[in-house]
Structure formats: C-alpha cells, structure tokens
Structure 1
Amino acid sequence: MSSVELVLLLLLLGAFTGLAGRYIPAVPLPLLQIALGAAISLPQDGLHVALDPEMFLLLFVPPLLFADGWRMPKREFYALRRPIVTLAFGLVFATVLGLGYFVHWMIPSMPLTVAFALAAVLSPTDAVSVAAIGRRVGLPGPLMHILEGESLLNDASGLVALKFAVAATLTGVFSWRAAGADFLWLVGGGLGVGMVTAWLFSRLRDAVTSKLHEDANIHTVVLLLLLPFAAYLVAEHLGVSGILAAVSAGMTLNFADLERSEHVAERMQAQSAWTMIESTFNATIFLLLGLQLPAIIGSGLSYGEGFAWTLAGYVLAISLVLLGLRWLWMALAVRRAIHVAVRKGRPVDVPSRRIVAAAALAGIRGAITLAGALSVPLTLTDGSPFPARGLLIFLATGVILFTLLAASIGLPLLMRQLPAERENPHRREEREARVLAAQAAVDSLDALPPLAAAHRDVERAEVAARVAGDYQRRILGQALDRPDAAGGADPATARRLHALEMELRLSCLRAERQALYTLRRSHRINDDTLRELVHEIDLAEVVVRKRRRAEAAGKSTAGETTGEPGGH
C-alpha cells in the first residue's frame, strides 16, 4: 500500500471510529481506535506499517502539544504550578529510579541501564489519553488542570531520562553532573526557543494584518498551523527539547492573542482548523498504536509459549508498581500540603482518598511512551544487538494497554461514588462573566455620541432602549422578546430602523468581547471561559454582519429594479 493510500485509509478509519464512538459511549474512543488498528493488522495479509519514531514525533506531537499548551488555562496553571512541577519532574525521576531498580530485580537478564530506559519511557503520562478519558468521566476541574499541566511537561523530563539511560547503555559511562547540566540546558533552551518563536510570529502576524486586514486571515492561519513545527525543528536543531518548545510556543501565543480581540474571522478560521487537526491526529495516533500491536505481541510470544504468561506477569507487576509509586507520591504530597497549611494557619481543602486514587489511576501512558520505546537503537556502538530491546518494547506496549484499560474501567467507578458539586465553579464564573459583559454592552449604548439630525437622535434612542432592554432581561435571566423594532412605520423608516439596530448590536457585541478580554487580563475568568463566551459572540457577530450584507444586497437589487437609488 502506498503512503497516500495509507494516509487516506487512516483518515477514513479515524472518521469512522469518531462516529462509532458516539454509539458506543461505554468504550473510550482511544481503546476503540487501538482495537480497530490491531484488527486490520492482525491477519497475515493485513495492513502492516513500519513506524519511524522520529517521523512520528515530528508529525504528530508538536501540533497536539502546542494546542494543549495554548488551551491550558494559564491562571490555573500558575495557581497549581507547585503540584504540576513536582509531578512533571520529581515524580518522573522517582519513577525512573524506583521502577528501574524493580525491573532489574525482577528481570535480572535485563541490564540496569536498560531497565532505567524502560522506566524512563514509562514515566511520562499521555496528554491525549488523559484529556480523552478524564473529560469523559468528569474529573474535577482542579484535578484535570493538574493532570493536563503534568502531561505537558513530563514528556521532556521522561525523554531526557531515556536519552541518558540509552547513552549509558551504549558507552557504559554515566555522569550525574553532566546529566544535570544537560537537563537544565534541554529544558531551559526548549522553553526559551518556544517563547521566542511564538513572540516573533505574533509580531509578524500583527505587521501583516495591519497592512492587509481581512485579506491576511487565511495566510496568518496557515502560518499559525506551521508554528508548532517551526518551534520544534528550531529547538531540535539547537539541541534542546523540541517538545517543550512546542508547549511553550502555544502558551506564549495564548498571551499574545489577548491583544487581538477584534480579529473575528481569523480566530474562527483558526479554531475550526485546530479542531479538525486535533481530531484527525488523535485518531491517527491510536490507530497507529493498534497497527503496531500484533507485531509487538508476536515478538513477545516468540520467546516461547510458556514464557507468554511470564511476560503477562511482568506487564502486570510493572503496571502495578508504576501506579503504586504514583499513588504514594500523591498521597505524600497531600500530607505535606496539609502540614504546611496547618503550620501557616491557612484553611485547606483536604482531597478525599477517592480523588487521590483517581489522580493516580489517571496516569495513562500513550503515544510518547510508544515513540520513546521504538526510538531505542537497534545496535550498540560495536554492532551487537541492543540488549533486551524487543522485551523493552513489548513491556512498554503492555503497560500502555493496561493503564488505558485500568483508567477506562476504574475512573468511572471512583467518580460515581463522589458527592456532586453544589455548583460547578466554571459555570458560576461563566454566569458572572455573562452578566458583566451584558452590563458593558448597556454602558456602551449610553456612551454613544449624538447624531447630527434631531429625528435620527430620537430614532436611535428608541432602538437603543430596545437593545438595552434585551440586555437587561438577559442580566435578570428573563427570556428575550422579539417585537418588530419598526412597529407600523413605513418601509423606508423600517429599513432605516432595522439597519440602525444592526449597527447598535454590533457595537454592543464588540463591547461585550472587550469586557471579556479585560476580565481575562485581570484573571477574573480563565481561558476556558473566555474562549467559550467569545466564540458565542463571534458567531453572533457573523450572523448580524451576514444579515446586514443580505439586506444591503436586497435593497440594492430593489433599487436597480425600480430605477431608484439604493441608499437610505
């Protein structure tokens, strides 16, 4: 099968599983896609794909992590920075050491450095899987923010640990001092490259749109889609973390977007493009994982029929130790947070044991783990085979499947027993933001400058009162009425009043949007609330503008037909 045919088939299968997932809600979409990929690869003459890890990382990881970094609520990320950083870095290194020694003890034939390499590829959680399953089961908002922030950062620490474990296996030499310095360079350089790349893009975008205005929308969206790849490639060329560069580029661009509240068309085009890309790439990642399964399982079974049960026991033991280390780390972190809060006399909201267990169970492994395992070299520097490489890949794949299944089954059971929140904080914040935005729209009507003609002032006052009444009813939570603004006026007056109403509504929508961006800059709402409400306003503005254009075109046509001018 040619590359073009393979791409088209994966796109078709991704669309099919997306539709099928709506009719099988009990099965998480990632598991459905993995199963389908394995099914079409299982027969002898089925579809077999040789996955290049470097190409995989380049094509799929940068745009997905960029989108996650752009979407991550920055207010919550900063507020929860301590648990996020300790999980993304501290837990990763604790996992590499603890799990590495355990694997070497359990499988003495696997060298210690290779056991560390296996622990390193298993240490990062998967942002795609965490988001797909966590949102489906309804994890609490703060916990989801911690898990998403952790999965954005721990890819870099896990892959850095893998790099040093592989280098120690190849050379037989390891230096903690060199590893620490290299780690700081990789992390700091990756974050810096991403921020600089996004800042340069934002300046270029502002310069282009200031000259071309609406004509630049499609071009800036295309450049935006290429930005994650640019940040990743520049960082990799400089020898720093391309993954962190993609994440930091997304987070930096989010801040730059706070100054572009009026670019409606560009924002809507970019949102549609990113939605399509994320859906397609997520499906392709799990389909490719499924396509690798038969070959990986076959390599494990080649050790012998009796050894298959031993391998299954290895996978189970490693998975349980991995989740146990995660649970222990989180339990100790909660105890320490409580101790610090009590010592400083601050109130503390103690999470329940079920929440701690859910946080541990949500440590799902996925695409980065598979790509890291497949990136292990085939041979050593002397040309001999890399020790236990096939076993490493088999065990990593088994743990991916185990954590996916455990989270898919266990998380709904844990969340079912939790008491429901009295009010979702996000919904409360959204409701308050709607009221403040509506009040800003009413205030903008009062601040409008007077018109030249007195009768036009009277007309505008009447229309403005009606529009303000709609906003006041929205503030009070009442249904909006839709009486004819023109009443029994003659057709010419009716058209003029309707055009005036459209103009005032556009002005109010702009005032609403600007109020929401002001609330976001002052951290009174987060990025999720801003994105959701601004999207509604953008859609409303598009509808109003289309109605204005349609009415202007109809009026112009009527004027040409009757031989009259089309103006007011």
Structure 2
Amino acid sequence: MHLIETILFLLLAVVVSGWVARMTRIALPLVQIGLGAGVVLITGQSVDLKPDIFFLLFLPPLLFVDGWRIPNEALFRDRVVILELALGLVIFTVLGLGFLIHWMIPSMPLAVAFALAAILSPTDPIAVSAVAARAPIPKRLMHILEGESLLNDATGLTCMRIAVVAATTGAFSLTNAVGTFAWLAVSGIAVGVVVTLAIGLLKGWISRRWGEDVGGQILISLLIPFAAYLAAEAVHGSGILAAVAAGVTMSFTERSGMAQAATRIRRAVVWDTVQFVANGLIFVILGEQMPSIMARAAEVIQTTQHKEVWWLAVYVFAIVAALAALRFVWVWTSLKLTLYRKRGPNAPAKVGLRLVAVMSLAGVRGAITLAGILTLPFVLSDGTPMPARNLAIFLAAGVIIVSLVLATIALPRLLKNVELPPEPSHLEEEDRSRVAAATAALRAIEDRQHAMAEGKSDPDLYAETATRLMEVYRRRIESRSHSEGDDLVRTQRGDEIERQLRLAGLAAERDELVRLGRQRLVDEETARRLIREIDLQELRYV
C-alpha cells in the first residue's frame, strides 16, 4: 500500500508541476525537482532509487520514442556533428574534467574522478527543451541536440563502466577499453534493429492474415523498447543504444503504411502520455533524492582537504564552468569543420559565438547523471570502501541543479536571433507531393466509381458523387501546380487564412453540438461521435 500511495503522490506532483510552471514561468524540470523535494520534506518518505530499475523503467521508452520521432533526414544530414558531439566530446570531457577534478580534490582517486566526469558528460534533451520553451530552440539546432543526447548516454555510461573497473581493480587496459566500447555499441545497435524488424514482420504477417487489433498494436509498440533493451543487456551490449536503434528502425518500418489510421492516432496519444508521465517522474524522483544528498554536505566535506561546507559550492561551480568551457571549445571546432566549412577558395568559415554559447549552455545534465553516479560500487575489489563515493554523488547532484538554473536564466536570452546555416526549404517538395497524392486519389475515385456503378440501376448517383469529390482534388491540384515566387507566398497566406477559418468553423460546430446535447435534442452517443469527427478534423490544422 505504501508503494501505491507513493506512486500516486508522484503522479499528482507531475500534474501539479505543469500548472505551477505555467503560472510562475519557471522551467518545468526545476518545478518538478522542487515538488519532489517538497514531497519528501512533508511526508518524510522517498522513493528508493535503484539505478538498474530506474534505467529499465524510464530509459527504453523515452529513448525509443525520441529515436522514433526525430526526423531521419535531420539525423543523417548532421550525422557528422552529432557523432562528434556524442563520441568525441564525451571522451574530451572525460579526460579534461577528470584531471581537473583530481587536481581540485586530490583525495578523490583519478579513476573515481574519471567516473564522475564520464557520467557528467551526457546531456539531457528533455531538460533543454523544457528550459527553452519560452524561447524555442531552432529546429536544426534542436535536432542536433536530440541526436547527440540519443547517443552520448551510451558513450558516457560506457566510459563510466570502464573507469569503475579501473577504480575497483586498480588495472586499466586501453585495448580492453576500446574492445568493450566497440562491442557495446555494435551489439546494442544490431540487437535494436533486429528485434524491431522481427517484431514488425511478425506483427504484419499476423495482421494480414487475421486482421489488426488496435489495442494489441499499441501494446506491442510499448513493449518493443523493453524487448530491445533487455535483449541487448543479455548479450552484454548497450541497452541504451538498442532502444535508440529500435526507435529509428521503427520510423523506417512505419513508412510501409500498414498500420490502420485508428491505430496510428490512438498510438500517438498513448505515447504522448507515456512520454509526459515518464519525463515528469524522472525529475520528481530526482528532486526526492536531493534532500538526503544535500543533508550529507557536512559529512562529505570531511573527505576533502577543506573543512568549510562552502567549498562544495566552489567545486560544483568550477565543474559547471569546466563543462561549459570544454563544450564551448569542442562545439566551436566541430561547427567550424562541418556546418560552417568553407564553400569557396576565399570564403572564411564563420562560427557565431552566440550559437556556440547556446550549444555550450544547452549541455544540461539530468536524472540520468544522478542515476548513473548512484551505480558507483560501495567497495573496491579488496573489500575496502570506495573512496569519495558520497562526494561524487553530491557533486553530480549539485551540477544538475546549477546547470538547470543557469540554462533557465541564460538560454532564453541567448536564443534570440541565433543564426544557423539555413535549412533546405521543403515547400516545393510538399506541393509536388500534394499534387501527386491528389492525382492518385482522382484515379482511385474514378476507378472505384465505375466498379461500384457497374450493374446498378442508378449509375448517375455514383457519377454525381464521384464528380463532387473529384472536384475537391482538382482544386487542390490547381492551387498547387503553379506556386512560384509571389504565387507561392500568396498560396501560403491563403493556406493560413483557410486554416484560421476552418478552425473557427469547427469550433462553432462543436459548440452547437454540445448545446444540442445539453438540451437533449440529440442522442448522447450521436453527439459524442460527431464531436470526435470534428476533433479529428481539427487535428489537421492545429
């Protein structure tokens, strides 16, 4: 019963956090962390955060849906930048920050410092998007940050695993480290792809033979990330990369269009809910851990060469500054060599400092960092306590809070007028696609009309209905066939005007149906069905 009550409290905190964030205009992750801490201070009880269970419950679905929904074109277009950030930056951060932490705190062994640096290297895209909600991040920049975060979790956790082995055994082999990393990456990605393809083929075969059950299809999509994660962990691969690969593969398999429209609509709603709840619970649980971690500040400082508690704040701010500086250097170099590479013999590559500063501050740390650092073993291989374990946990928690607050204050200001290389316009491509789809619809309607009218006593009825529908598609083709220059701008304005008018009309329809239902002038089931039709139409324009 205690567990059920705790879960209900956490879910209530997630709901309340959205209201508080909108009323106070404070970043949602900070509100959720504060509510989590408040729940602990009021009830005196908190969730026992077990990292293995935390990773299994939260990471697979969140990484899966991110990999599923991120545009593959954007992912592959900026793959070089993403890989440089997800692989190179992580290793650069581990080396630079590890030596800095060991230099600042000599009592922390170098291997433990590297482990702390490794788990601090992954960024949290959930926190970044929430922090930047008041000043939206440009799409291309957000896609780069999302792609980076999908991969750098695995890189950081792998580096941490290697550092922990070195700390507990006192031995380190570069060859073994590279081999371990390669196996984790290759096997994890392969398992994610294979599991998703196998489930997709089996699901498609069953649906073709015996039909499609919407609820079952949705449940299968929810189970795929867990299947990929567990299968990868079973072969000692990266479950995180398996979940990401499963999501990206899912986006390719969905292009077959085999799923029913009802399945796609309801599945999207379910996944939106799962994503909202999981994101919120992560930060609420993170907030629940903060009071106990901060309460040990006086005890933790005794493990350093200083006795004043305020030195812990110095360490935290120094680590945050070092993370930003290392990221700034790496991002500047990466963008200069990729997005802003020279286009001509005398054209210098220009990298805006504002853009580099945005990407540096966007390196916000989140709950994965805290869950990862909690996996530090309590003892070494000889049975002695792990040196500076509590200090590492305290510093990780402090960096999470400071990076979130700093991003909340600075990112919205820096994001104003930030410049990126322009993304290619897809307007002409969209027009061509609409024309092609409408042309196909015309052919299908005409063929279907002839087939249905054959042998019927009233063929004119079929012809009139088909003509009315075909006229809608012909107007769509005419409005899109010659949209160039000023005509394209006019078409876009016309689309916006049409969107606003359609929304106004649909809102009026719904209000009238609600009125009729309240006055019992229409059957309740009929009103509900008609309102759902209007809602589905409205989704096309919002």
TM-score by length of 2: 0.82
* 1:264/1:538 contact within 8 Å kept: no
What residue identity is the alignment partner of 1:7? I
> Does residue 1:253 correspond to 2:255, yes or no?
no
> Does residue 1:323 correspond to 2:320, yes or no?
no
Alignment partner of 1:181 out of 172, 179, 182: 179
**Aligned residue runs from structure 1 range 391-540, under 5 A:** 391-418=391-418, 425=425, 434=434, 437-448=437-448, 450=450, 451-452=453-454, 456-473=458-475, 476=479, 477=494, 479=498, 539-540=536-537
1:375 matched residue in structure 2: 375
2:151 matched residue in structure 1: 153
Q: Secondary structure at the match of 1:307?
A: coil
1:251-292 superposed Cα distances (whole Å, 9 cap, x missing partner)? 111111111255112212221211111111111100000000
**Aligned residue runs from structure 1 range 67-82, under 5 A:** 67-82=65-80
1:394-449 superposed Cα distances (whole Å, 9 cap, x missing partner)? 11111111111121111110122447999995788767755654454345445545
12-21 vs 439-448, which moves further: 439-448
Which blocks of at least 5 consecutive residues in structure 1 are unaligned?
483-535, 544-568
Shift of 1:454: 8.1
What residue identity is the alignment partner of 1:163? R
**Aligned residue runs from structure 1 range 5-24, under 5 A:** 5-24=5-24
What residue identity is the alignment partner of 2:397? T
Distance of aligned partners of 1:347 and 1:264 in 2 relative to their CA distance in 1, 3 Å threshold: farther
1:471-525 superposed Cα distances (whole Å, 9 cap, x missing partner)? 455563475999xxxxxxxxxxxxxxxxxxxxxxxxxxxxxxxxxxxxxxxxxxx
* 1:131/1:148 contact within 8 Å kept: no
**Aligned residue runs from structure 1 range 120-131, under 5 A:** 120-131=118-129
1:441-479 superposed Cα distances (whole Å, 9 cap, x missing partner)? 345445545222587443333333332333455563475
- Structure-2 separation of matches of 1:16 and 1:267: 29
- Structure-1 separation of matches of 2:325 and 2:458: 73
1:223-242 superposed Cα distances (whole Å, 9 cap, x missing partner)? 22111111111111110100
Shift of 1:539: 3.5
What residue identity is the alignment partner of 2:331? M
Distance of aligned partners of 1:135 and 1:195 in 2 relative to their CA distance in 1, 3 Å threshold: farther
* 1:100/1:112 contact within 8 Å kept: yes
Distance of aligned partners of 1:166 and 1:20 in 2 relative to their CA distance in 1, 3 Å threshold: same
What residue identity is the alignment partner of 2:58? F
What residue identity is the alignment partner of 1:33? Q
> Does residue 1:265 correspond to 2:262, yes or no?
yes
1:38-94 superposed Cα distances (whole Å, 9 cap, x missing partner)? 122235x52322210111001111111011111111111111110001100000000
Q: Secondary structure at the match of 1:51?
A: coil
What residue identity is the alignment partner of 1:355? L
- Structure-1 separation of matches of 2:138 and 2:16: 30
What residue identity is the alignment partner of 1:416? K
- Structure-1 separation of matches of 2:397 and 2:104: 18
* 1:30/1:129 contact within 8 Å kept: yes
- Structure-2 separation of matches of 1:285 and 1:541: 32
- Structure-1 separation of matches of 2:430 and 2:86: 30
Shift of 1:102: 0.7
Number of residue-to-residue matches in the alignment: 486
461-470 vs 350-359, which moves further: 461-470
1:564 matched residue in structure 2: none
Distance of aligned partners of 1:304 and 1:141 in 2 relative to their CA distance in 1, 3 Å threshold: closer
Q: Percent identity?
A: 43
1:292-347 superposed Cα distances (whole Å, 9 cap, x missing partner)? 0011111123346962210001000100110111011011122223785346x698
**Aligned residue runs from structure 1 range 73-112, under 5 A:** 73-112=71-110
TM-score by length of 1: 0.79
- Structure-2 separation of matches of 1:167 and 1:420: 41
1:510-556 superposed Cα distances (whole Å, 9 cap, x missing partner)? xxxxxxxxxxxxxxxxxxxxxxxxxx99945999xxxxxxxxxxxxx
Q: Secondary structure at the match of 2:218?
A: helix
- Structure-2 separation of matches of 1:141 and 1:440: 32
1:116 matched residue in structure 2: 114
> Does residue 1:235 correspond to 2:232, yes or no?
yes
45-54 vs 79-88, which moves further: 45-54
1:562 matched residue in structure 2: none
**Aligned residue runs from structure 1 range 275-294, under 5 A:** 275-294=272-291
110-119 vs 10-19, which moves further: 10-19
Distance of aligned partners of 1:47 and 1:218 in 2 relative to their CA distance in 1, 3 Å threshold: same
Which blocks of at least 5 consecutive residues in structure 2 are unaligned?
480-493, 506-532
- Structure-2 separation of matches of 1:128 and 1:436: 37
126-135 vs 69-78, which moves further: 126-135
- Structure-1 separation of matches of 2:312 and 2:246: 41
1:41 matched residue in structure 2: 40
1:335 matched residue in structure 2: 336
1:189-221 superposed Cα distances (whole Å, 9 cap, x missing partner)? 00001001101110111122112213x221222
Shift of 1:22: 3.3
- Structure-2 separation of matches of 1:176 and 1:258: 42
Distance of aligned partners of 1:469 and 1:23 in 2 relative to their CA distance in 1, 3 Å threshold: farther
Q: Secondary structure at the match of 1:341?
A: coil
- Structure-2 separation of matches of 1:136 and 1:229: 33
Distance of aligned partners of 1:315 and 1:431 in 2 relative to their CA distance in 1, 3 Å threshold: farther
Q: Secondary structure at the match of 2:460?
A: helix
Distance of aligned partners of 1:357 and 1:213 in 2 relative to their CA distance in 1, 3 Å threshold: same
Alignment partner of 2:215 out of 205, 208, 218: 218
- Structure-2 separation of matches of 1:349 and 1:265: 49
- Structure-2 separation of matches of 1:148 and 1:195: 20
- Structure-1 separation of matches of 2:99 and 2:362: 24
Distance of aligned partners of 1:474 and 1:31 in 2 relative to their CA distance in 1, 3 Å threshold: farther
- Structure-2 separation of matches of 1:3 and 1:152: 31
* 1:130/1:148 contact within 8 Å kept: no
